[in-house]
Amino acid sequence: MTVTGTPVGDVDLAVVTPVGTRRSHPLPLLLAHDGPEYSRRAHLLSVLRGATSDGRVAPTRVVLLEPGPRNERYAANPDWAQALTQHVLPAVRTAYASSGKPALMGASLGALASLQAEWLHPGTFGSLFLQSGSFFRKRVDDEEDFEFWHRVTAFVTNVRRVRRRRTDARVVMTCGTGEGNLANNRQMAQALAGSGHDVSLAEVPGGHDWRSWHSAFDPHLFDSLARETPR
């Protein structure tokens, strides 16, 4: 599908529906930032098929989001959050029946974009699966040369300043013990917990790469999806 007329231009995506189901069958919905990469390099679809066959996850329709101009969209851009929640998601739900609130996942900047989408449009998603999020902070991360550094740090600071729960979404975070984002992920998890959010952080072996993100699916992605309940 291509969703046109969004605040960030056209958004390309692919919808993968379980074998034996039709568009009219209401199924849980999972949207994945960097979807084609998640499928190709982290084997997301095959992992979910296996988990479904084992009865660990309900049959789930997966939306693989093409990143397009990735840094511009994913680096704490409120226009992307609006495009995703107000344009892409309604278009998918018009074309395919769904049950409950959708889940949203992403890695690195995709995790940041996932949190911002629900943060700016609370109540849209039932669960967030955030891997190695780029939750950059001044005096913590050596990323000042990143072109959207100020936009990212401003959003992270805003999240950390909140004292009351902003979303009821279940937030499941994973981060490799050998990567540079571990400190800011720990701090983000602490900040979200301190403001009353339902959050967990799993520190897993590995680094900032697709192999490590794949390895963290079991059990953490499964836990995120299994704990989502229709609302």
User: pLDDT tens digits for 119-171?
Assistant: 999 999 999 999 999 999 987 877 778 889 999 999 999 999 999 999 999 99
Domain membership flag for residue 7:
yes
Q: What is the DSSP string of 206-217?
A: S-SSHHHHHHTI
Phi, psi dihedral angles at 94 (to 5 degrees) = -70, -40
pTM: 0.96
> In this structure, what CATH number is given to the domain that contains residue 220?
3.40.50.1820
Domain membership flag for residue 82:
yes
Q: What is the pLDDT of residue 22?
A: 93
Q: Is the pLDDT of residue 181 over 90?
A: yes
Domain membership flag for residue 91:
yes
User: pLDDT tens digits for 197-213?
Assistant: 999 999 999 999 999 99
Residue 176's domain comprises 2-226
Domain membership flag for residue 40:
yes
Between CA 121 and CA 214 the distance in angstroms is: 28
Q: In the numeric block, which tokens belong to residue 98?
A: 């769904």
Between CA 213 and CA 199 the distance in angstroms is: 18
Domain membership flag for residue 137:
yes
Give the total number of structural domains in the chain: 1
Domain membership flag for residue 133:
yes
Handedness of CA 130, 48, 43, 177 (dihedral sign): positive
Q: What is the pLDDT of residue 144?
A: 77
Residues 163 and 195 sit within 8 Å (Cβ to Cβ): yes
Q: Is the pLDDT of residue 56 over 70?
A: yes
User: pLDDT tens digits for 71-89?
Assistant: 999 999 999 999 999 999 9
User: pLDDT tens digits for 82-114?
Assistant: 999 999 999 999 999 999 999 999 999 999 999
Q: What is the pLDDT of residue 227?
A: 62
Q: What are the E-state strand segments in 42-93?
A: 61-65
Q: Is the pLDDT of residue 229 over 50?
A: no
Q: What is the pLDDT of residue 231?
A: 37
Q: Is the pLDDT of residue 118 over 80?
A: yes
Q: What is the pLDDT of residue 14?
A: 98
Domain membership flag for residue 154:
yes
Local structure of residue 102 (DSSP, 8 states) = P
Q: What is the mean pLDDT of the chain?
A: 95
Q: What are the E-state strand segments in 22-102?
A: 29-32, 61-65
Domain membership flag for residue 112:
yes
